[in-house]
Structure 1
Amino acid sequence: MEKRLSEVSEVLEPATRTAGLLPTSTDLDFYCSIDPGVKQALDGVSSDLDDVLSTMTAWMGSERQSMDSMMDAASFSAQAGETIDRLLERTDVYLDEYAGRRPIAPKDEPVVPSTGKLPKSLLFPKIPKPQDAFSRRPDNRACAPWTRQLRFGKPNARVPLGWRDPAWDMPEHATVEGQYGTEGDARLNAYYVEIQQTAIPASAYRIDEPRAPEPLDLDEPDASLAWVDSLDKLHALAAHLEEARVTEIAIDLEHHSHRTYLGLVCLMQISTRWGDWIVDTLVDEVREHAEMLNASFTHPDKVLVLHGADHDILWLQRDLGLFVTNLFDTFQAARVLQFGSLSLAYLLLRYTGFEADKRFQTADWRIRPLPREMLFYARSDTHSLLYVYDCLRLDLERHAGHGAITDVFERSKATASKTYIKVPWDAQGDSRSGWRTLWLRLGGDLARAAQDAPPGTPLSREERILRRLHQWRDEKAREDDERPAFVLSDEVLISLALRPPLTLPEAHTRTPMRLRKSVQRMHELVDVVKAEWEAYQAGLQPSMPRMDVTVDEDLGERCGGDEEGWTEAGVQVGVWDAKAPQSRADAQLFRGLRVSSQAAPSTKRKSLFEMPSARTSSHVAATLRRIQSEFVHQLGSLVGREPERGGEPEEPEKLVDEKPFDAKPVELENAAPTPSEARETTVVKHDRDKDDDDIVRVSKHIKGRAPKTKKSLAAPEPFDFAHATSVLDAPRSGSEASLLAPTKAAAEPRGARPKNLKRSGQRSGTFARRNK
């Protein structure tokens, strides 16, 4: 042993040394962010490491649960160390037991907690699929309709098998929308005529005093129980059910749908007044010969008691070829009596005081042998069901006489007439498991917006990708005989529709580990998404403009391709000698400025307003040219000369409106602004359409303290602004407004401030009252 451990240590030494040289998780995150290849390589190593751990821990039993979290980088070291320590301790115990130094401990069955969730060993056990060993394998093909030939014929028949009334006038595989999904037309049921025409047995109206059965023992749930797992035991059960004394038969089923596409009946519980039977329907010979029970299930003198049989009737037809004629559904009886709850658990609690543990409804009933708790639950469903049947009939008799009992049988006929049909993939997606239903449930705001869209609106990109992925998931689930949600969960499906993976690395980061193990399946997923993406883009091409030119939108130019009404931007020449065009006051970019309605000539590019090879609309180009012309005109006014107009002089245009909304007409000749008034903010408003925007021109100034000067005793002489020589000595109209002209509010003197401003804290004069 020591030699072996020494060899193992020598082998592990290089690996340990290499592991010490690996970068930290922070460094790895940084490398992955700058190089996608590093992330892809790390994902591959993580997947290989997970496979190695799965292979190593396959034989570990109860330790496997602790190893599931070892792939978490934060807890890998601690989890690995603790698991190895436990394994070494168990090894020492087993060696001591083998050497006789320690007595062998008895093997305990797994303990199921009385409250809380069931253990994973009961919910998701790793067992082989029993359907793989069936002689009649499930046919999941969408193109092949469901059919099942009755090998033992049609006992208790009123019409031959396959008979149809010519007046029905329906297709061969007619479907209807049932309460829980799509079903076959009830008239396609092999016993439809018998169900509708069979009279209610007289025994159903004979009500004796109900007698409660002996309660079950949780420690010995198999006491006086017959387990049917062979053809001989099935024959014995059929013989008992056909006895004349047996007039009531209680039936219940345990179904599995997690690791199969169509579903799988795992158990059939049967109870009579003389005993309980559990039929193991996973045994192939029992499954193939269960049709012999139709002789008693369809007998006109026998009542079959089930609770909420909407699913059970369909499952009996699909997996076992069994039909029911005289059905008494205790669920319908509870509805007639208007109970507050309609569940079987409530009925058992009401009439027997037994509280059923409904956690086992979600257990995996493929487990063999059945744990003690699961066997107790399965038997308790039908053990007291006939007693509940008697109590319900008694209450119905007291409620409304024989008519209430007849009402329950009539309601149950609709349930017994249900017909199983294989449901194809729903392209519209409106079924309970359809893609549109899934989108409305998990799609969020996008789904709600699509729901409010008018009829005929094309599908969005997310909806099209979700529909295609939903179809692809359905196809793969049929191939693998798996539940669609096991192939790809609904949440992952929605996530892929919102963020479609167009490359294999993207798909690796957005899909579960189970799917990533199949390289072929990952390639198929990417191909499906890319194909639907390209199809969606191709469908948009006829209505989308060519995006061959991109121009900065800040310059007011539009990004787009060739459209009607778009021309090359005009070339501007003679910037300083440009003629001032006719102006108008409805500009869309600068409110308050006169803009031109005339385009400037174009010969060659000499202006910064022009962008090479840019396509712009005539409206935007004209606006830019009007802005340039107005700028030249105003600049000429500022430097003291009018721009050359060439020809007859035109009447000068006013740059601002004569009557703003919030000010009186401005006197330009006699209003000389003081330095403090020149710093005031000037807001100019103009008459325009009410849809136009306001443009506020703000002249900024730098706040600072004025230099301290000594006060002069002599009063300063006022400056004669009227006769002063101006550097801007140019003729201008008195009515022409300048861009630098102050408003009347700025020209009027304010007067002295009150002396108590500093005392009141109003140093800024913000709250000073205006003198009226």
Structure 2
Amino acid sequence: MDSFKALQDSISAALVSTTRSATQLRGADIPFQRSLNPALGTALDSQNARLLELAQRLLGNAATSSDVVGPKLSDVEAIDGNWKGIVDIVDSLLEKADISLDEYTGVVKRLSPPGDQAASASKSRPAFPKNVHYPKPQLSFDNVPRNTETGAFRPLITSKPHAKVSMDQCLRLFKDKTGRDQYPHPYETEIQSYEYPPSVYQESEPQPYHSFDATTATYVDTPEALATMLAELKTAKEIAIDLEHHDNRTYIGLLSLMQISTRDKDWIVDTLQPWRRRLECLNEVFADPSIIKVLHGAYMDIVWLQRDLGLYVVGLFDTFHAARSLGYPGAGLAYLLNRFTGFQAQKQYQLADWRVRPLSNELFKYAQADTHFLLYVYDNMRNELVRKSDFDDPEKNKVHDVLVKSQETALQRYENPVYDMENGLGPIGWYRPLSKTPVQYTPQQFSVFREIHKWRDDVARVEDESTNFVMPNHTVFSIARTMPKDGAELTSVLPPNNHIPRTRVEELLAVIRKAKDADEQPDLIETLKRISEMEYAARIASRSANVAVQSAAPKPAPALQRPPPVAVLETPDLRALSSSFWGKLLSKGMAEQRRPMSTVSINLALPLPPLTAEIFSEANGAEVEESPSVGKTEHTFVPKDQRPAEDTRSDIFIVKQLGGHKRKRTEVDEAPHPFQTDELMLEDTDADNVQGQDEKAREKARKKAAKKAAKKQKSRDLPPTNEEALDDGEEEPAFDYANAPSVLRAQEVEAQRAKGKKKKDKKDRKKKDQAFNPYAALQDAPKGLPRSQKEGPGKSKTFLS
């Protein structure tokens, strides 16, 4: 510790001295000093070269501990051109130092065991630094994968256990929708005609799993261990399967590990052995129709098994589709394990490098957990599917839906990756990333993008690396946008960890120049529109073909399914055979025909007779009975003087005539208004009550008349109002809405009417002068809290004394 402290102090002192000297030299006029003293210029050049060499060595040493490659500093100008690379190295070192300090202080928990455990673990398995290249496992295979194959993928199987169709018939070429030759799925007939056992449709008690901590998986890395495992698997009724895949340091991908579990035992199969093709013997179990194969999210697993090992699955049950059918909030394997077993899966190992051998204890346990609980999860999900399924209704049969989707997954077929330069279609084409990225490229930039994307695929095939490892997508977009002209500009666009493009700068610049100078440079928008229309037409054609196949050869319903019953709605007989409005509803023959009908449309709640022409025609023999109210009546002439007096009142009325205006009733009242019915006027009344009410009304009218007479005596000089005119017996004119004054000028109208009146007291005048306020209702809102309660010295607002 003391030696490190002394070294740190010496380095700090040297850095301080160097910084001060550089600052002093920066303030001097170096070109002037060079002209005066040539020896000084020579000394400065030698010091510059020495400092550049020291900086290059420091960057090289720092790059060995980081994930980036140090730039080359050939001269002083190279520092400015490669400044971004220098910053990347420093940032990487600082980030690693920060992570180490966090792990040392305990802020972040170590993923690897600390202390002596880490030392023992490092002895058991080699470390794989990212910047060190080791021989790839695929180079030692008996059958090395060839990335340049673009033709039809021939299945790897040499025999076909549990076959219904011979192997020779399964290996006949056919044309796909793009016109390329392809080999069919070897077990297509067996999967399509497969019938799941009755146990899948029945609810049973889940079989408990063995303790995970007390169970150790068997590692299969020899042909002898493989034969022993195969013999035990043949006796099982259900098995669980899972795979670990690596796709970063290989072009087509690499199946690195396979986990298999039964009710009693777990196996971890090493699929990176040079004899990995011998695992084809597992088809004796994988294709056995009497064994249920449980996988989770097997869409890609099915393809990987075909591509690397020649294995095919018959009788698949995918728990991913079951989780979707049951409507779980999560469909991942970690969620299902936690839901049914409470086991917390360490998913940080999912992206681990599964090529490392031997496997660490953490990776081994993680791989075992993926299948150890899966059969117990299958039991619980199967029971829930059965409980929530209605086998009489195909639309509510969740078990059938999951099995159909599982069969579709098992029918997936691997094809060699073919790069489509023209349209960019396929999983490795340029159309998918470009359609998901909102870019606006010129024809020249679009041409550069396509050429760079194609160059990346070619290099990845040659180097046996993934396309993202060679160059990530965002770098392809950046190069197409900037279109670099020289090596320095291209290097500034490439990320520091893109080793392959940095060693092929001149080759990449030649591709860019070729794309920029190309004669044909299609437009981006038009190309995307053309491809979109082409895909839409292909989907329509595929959908029509599927409909035609289903109608020509409908698939038989699975076992334990009964045809759905027909909904029956009992309809009572009609109450009458004729109506005064519709006429004769049903003829005698139609009525007899209607009686045996037992099924009608449930959507029609009220059955109506068919409105045909023969119902209303008189020539069909149907006679309609005429009621007396419908027959014709003869009118007799009445002289004018003998006719009853007509009601001169019209339909035009004033609201006050209908009771809107409270006025005194005279002794001789008018007749009831035509809008008032006799039932209203005579309801719950008798003569005594009417007479008593009239006497009270007369007395009240006398008092009111006397009061108003006195009021008139005081204001004779004022013109009478409408109410007073009505009290005197005059007829009230109709209210003129067009010429009426606005309520917003109510104060001015009242002021004009008040002219000539005697002076009133202040209180009455204040009430009269109030104008119309449209916001008066808002003043009724509750008041808020006061601003703040300030307390003076010796006084308290809380307690009042």
- TM-score in terms of structure 1 length: 0.52
Gap change, CA 1:197 and 1:149, over 3 Å in 2: same
Shift of 1:48: 6.7
1:293 equivalenced with 2:288 (yes/no): no
Flag the 1:461–1:78 CA change in 2: closer, same or farther, 3 A: closer
**1:233 equivalent in structure 2:** 225
TM-superposed deviation, 1:189? 0.7
SS at match of 2:118: coil
Indicate the SS of the match to 1:349.
helix
Q: Give the equivalent residue in structure 2 for 1:419.
A: 413
* Structure 1 match to 2:432: 437
Q: Give me the whole-angstrom Cα distance separating, in 1, the residues matched to 2:470 and 2:92.
A: 32
Deviates more, 1:193-202 or 1:398-407: 398-407
Equivalent position SS for 1:283: coil
Matched, 1:53 2:69: no
Cα deviation for residue 356 of structure 1 reads 2.2
Matched, 1:381 2:370: yes
Whether 1:171 and 2:154 are equivalent positions in the alignment is no
The answer to whether the Cα contact below 8 Å between 2:316 and 2:406 also exists between their aligned partners in 1 is yes
Q: CA–CA distance in 1 between the matches of 2:475 and 2:502? A: 18
Q: Secondary structure at the match of 1:249?
A: strand
- Aligned counterparts of 2:232 and 2:195: Cα–Cα separation in 1: 23
SS in 2 for 1:419: coil
| Corresponding residue SS for 2:248 | coil
Aligned match of 2:476: 493
**Correspondence 1:13-162 to 2 at 5 A:** 49=57, 52-53=60-61, 57=64, 72=86, 106-108=116-118, 127-151=134-158, 153-162=159-168
Aligned pairs for 1:262-341 within 5 A? 262-285=252-275, 287-341=276-330
Letter matched to residue 160 of structure 2? K
Counterpart Cα distance in 2 of 1:26 and 1:463: 47
Cα deviation for residue 522 of structure 1 reads 1.4
Cα shift readout 1:200-245 (whole Å, capped 9, x = no counterpart): 124434543113313423xx8xx421011111111111111112xx
- 1:211 and 2:211 equivalent? no
- Deviation of 1:345 (Å): 2.2
Is the 2:151–2:181 contact (alpha carbons within 8 Å) kept by the matching residues of 1?
no
- The 3-state SS of whatever aligns with 1:359 is helix
Greater Rg, structure 1 or structure 2? 2
On the 8 A contact 1:477/1:487 being kept in 2, the answer is yes
Give the equivalent residue in structure 1 for 2:189.
Answer: 193
How many equivalent pairs are there? Answer: 461
For 2:454, what is the secondary structure of its paired residue? helix
Query: Deviations along 1:360-400, whole A, 9 cap, x unmatched?
Result: 22222222222333222211111110001111111122112
Determine helix, strand or coil for the equivalent of 2:339. Answer: helix
Asked if residue 523 in structure 1 is aligned to residue 503 in structure 2, the reply is no
Matches of 2:432 and 2:89, distance apart in 1: 39
Matched residue, 1:469:
452
Q: Distance in 1 between matches of 2:300 and 2:55?
A: 41
Letter in 2 for 1:426: D
- 1:418 shift after superposition: 0.6
Gaps of 5+ in 2: 1-15, 32-48, 72-83, 101-114, 392-396, 524-801
Q: Give the match's secondary structure for 2:504.
A: helix
Report the Cα offset of residue 514 of structure 1.
Answer: 4.7
Q: How big is the shift at 1:468?
A: 0.5
- Alpha-carbon distance in 2 for matches of 1:375, 1:134: 23
User: Secondary structure of 1:255's match?
Assistant: strand
CA–CA separation in structure 1 for the residues paired with 2:299 and 2:61: 45
**What is the Cα deviation at residue 273 of structure 1?**
0.8
Q: CA 1:531–1:191 in structure 2 vs 1: closer, same or farther (change >3 Å)?
A: same
SS in 1 for 2:148: coil
CA contact (8 A) 1:503 1:526 kept: yes
Structure 2 SS opposite 1:239: helix
Residues 345-364 of structure 1: pairs in structure 2 closer than 5 A: 345-364=334-353
Distance 1:130 1:250 in 2: 27
Q: CA deviation at 1:272?
A: 0.3
Distance in 2 (CA, whole Å) between partners of 1:50 and 1:214 is 56
Amino acid at match of 2:477: I
- Are the aligned partners of 1:249 and 1:305 in contact in 2 as well (CA < 8 Å)? yes
Instruction: Check conservation: 1:66, 1:79, Cα contact below 8 A.
Output: no
Please tell me the residue identity of whatever aligns with 2:412: K
Once residues 476 and 184 of structure 1 are traced to their aligned partners in structure 2, the CA distance between those partners, rounded to angstroms, is 26
2:188 aligned partner, one-letter code? Y
C-alpha contact 1:290 1:320 (8 A) present in aligned 2: yes
Deviation at 1:424, TM superposition (A): 1.0
Q: Could you tell me which amino acid in structure 2 is paired with residue 157 of structure 1?
A: A
Give ranges in structure 1 of 5+ residues lacking alignment.
Answer: 1-15, 32-40, 58-62, 87-104, 113-119, 177-182, 448-458, 541-772
Q: Specify the SS of the correspondent of 1:268.
A: strand
State the distance in 2 between where 1:124 and 1:400 align: 55
The alpha-carbon deviation at position 126 of structure 1 amounts to 6.0
Distance 1:123 1:414, change over 3 A: farther
Structure 1 position 250, deviation (Å): 0.4
Q: How far apart, CA to CA, are the structure 2 residues paired with 1:442 and 1:422?
A: 27
SS in 2 for 1:494: helix
1:283 CA displacement:
1.5
Aligned with 1:227: secondary structure? strand
For 1:110 and 1:443, the matched residues in 2 are separated by 51
What is the rounded CA distance, in whole Å, between the counterparts of 2:20 and 2:459 in structure 1? Answer: 43
Pick closer, same or farther for the CA change 1:77–1:524 going to 2, 3 Å.
closer
Contact 2:156 2:309 (C-alpha < 8 Å) held by counterparts = no
Code of the aligned partner of 2:271: T
Measured after TM superposition, the shift of residue 409 of structure 1 is 2.0
Q: 1:154 and 1:67, CA in 2 relative to 1: closer, same or farther beyond 3 A? A: closer
Alpha-carbon distance between aligned partners in 2 of 1:437 and 1:270, rounded to the nearest angstrom: 35
Distance in 2, matches of 1:46 and 1:463, equals 44
**Residues 79, 395 of structure 1: CA spacing in aligned structure 2 closer, same or farther, 3 A cutoff?**
closer
In the TM superposition, what is the alpha-carbon distance from 1:281 to its structure 2 partner?
0.7
Which residue, 387, 403, 406 being the options, matches 1:409? 403
Please report how far the alpha carbon of residue 513 of structure 1 lies from its aligned counterpart in structure 2 after TM superposition: 3.8
Letter in 2 for 1:106: D
> Which residue of 2 is the match for residue 665 of structure 1?
none
**Aligned counterpart, 1:242:** 234
**What amino acid is the match of 1:137?**
V
- Please give the root-mean-square deviation of Cα atoms over the aligned residues, in Å: 5.0
